[in-house]
Amino acid sequence: MSESPFDILILGGGPGGYATALYARNFGLSVALVEEERPGGTCLLRGCIPAKQWLQVAEVFSTVKNADAFGVLTSEPELDWSAALARKDRVVNQLVTGLSGLLRKRGVEVVPGRGRLSGPGRIVVEGGGTLEGRTVVVATGSHARTIPGWEIDGERIVTSDHAVDWSSRPDRVAIIGGGVIGCEFASLLVDLGAEVSVFELEKQLIPGGDADASRQLQRQLGRRGVKFYLKTGVGPAEVTDRGVKVSFRDKVLEADVALVAVGRGPNTDGIGLETVRAEVEQGYIKVDPVTMETAEPGVYAVGDIVAGTPQLAHAAFAEGIAVATYIATGEPAPVDYRAIPRVTYTHPEVAEVGISAADAQAMGMEVQVTKHPFGGVGRALIIGQSQGMVKVVAEKDGPLVGAAVVGPQAGEMIHELMFAVGWEALPEEAATFIHAHPTLSEAVGETLLSATGRSLH
């Protein structure tokens, strides 16, 4: 370990922490990263990567099961859950090993152990002494929340942390929360043959997202067998020898397991924030939105612990880049949150960028909304996934301010619209570019053409 103070001390090795570390090395800054687990954080170890691996298993299983629609005759597929779980572990381990090697190769000093702040420029590591640095970046991530009456036991009542490691598929699952995590697990579980019920307190799935996109997703998941109870609260859980009883609207639903997916809370308790002047609001750290610096000079925060920013791994990457750039150069490099894509990896996928029409109107904008369905897109018909739409929102006589895609590969397609929103392109400008035929992205081109008032198909 270096005896001289580091340029940057980082508390937490998730996406925000390791992105800060790696990008800071581009400027030749000395970096120490303190992490009590393996590098990668929730995203790599228990979140984004393992969940998406299970979603891929579900997609492959569903494709094989419905292969006869393409004239490919197969026997009824069977899922080897143990093999699928082992593949998830291999993917995670490969990425963790790669990240650890990259940090080592780039000269980041990774310090194992639980750390906490001990004043500006200092982190105390349990059993590992004290680190000193010119600056500190707090990147301790988040944890799965629960609600009163729903004590997480890891067996009958679980969070996504436990669900990615299920040793077998539960037959009946009650999902409490219809946000991104709840919808993703509903999608993969129903495709793998489970009975799934989703309870959501708000009036739509993915609260705060595009209403049309939410309805499309609900319709398609409903056709596959997911039962939805929107605008519905649940009473305290009753755990029995056989499972969990969920009470709602004077009714009771029995499930083998309940997955609580009501969002994530910041990991800021017990990390020593009281030793610095950082301001905390409901557990989240307030920062300067341009520099990511807290009220304590030289102490920064990135990722899920930051107040008012999206809890997304790629948002944390961007914040880490912004912090490293500012510390190294003194020049602000603020994150453009308007252009950060948001993807729900269900089947079909839902992707959004910018603001919705409802939010734009609430801000006083006069907007023009244009939609185009996948039903007439040749490539979508070829692959048998022609349900869904592309939707763009433009300020009247002005630039594109938001977009949503519901359908196959929406998470990939949204990036074209990310550029359009980020660069404040006019519909007339974005519509001049030609899309290859036949592709799914033609739906984007068709939507943009229609937004100019001169559609093609």
What is the distance between the alpha carbons of residues 353 and 379, in angstroms, rounded to a whole number?
Answer: 23
φ/ψ bin of 58: left (φ > 0), alpha (ψ from -120 to 50), beta (otherwise): alpha
Nearest to residue 248, comparing CAs of 183, 196, 198? 198
Q: Crossing angle, helix 81-105 and helix 48-65, to 10 degrees?
A: 140
Task: Identify whether the C-beta of residue 11 lies closer than 8 Å to the C-beta of residue 139.
Answer: yes
Q: What's the gap between Cα 139 and its chain centre?
A: 16
Phi, psi dihedral angles at 443 (to 5 degrees): -65, -35
Strand positions, DSSP E, 310-348: 342-344
Task: Identify whether the C-beta of residue 145 lies closer than 8 Å to the C-beta of residue 233.
Answer: no
Phi, psi dihedral angles at 269 (to 5 degrees): -75, 135
Give the alpha-carbon dihedral of 339, 55, 390, 221, to 10 degrees.
Answer: -130
Residue 377 DSSP symbol: -
Residues designated as active site: 437
Q: What's the gap between Cα 158 and its chain centre?
A: 19
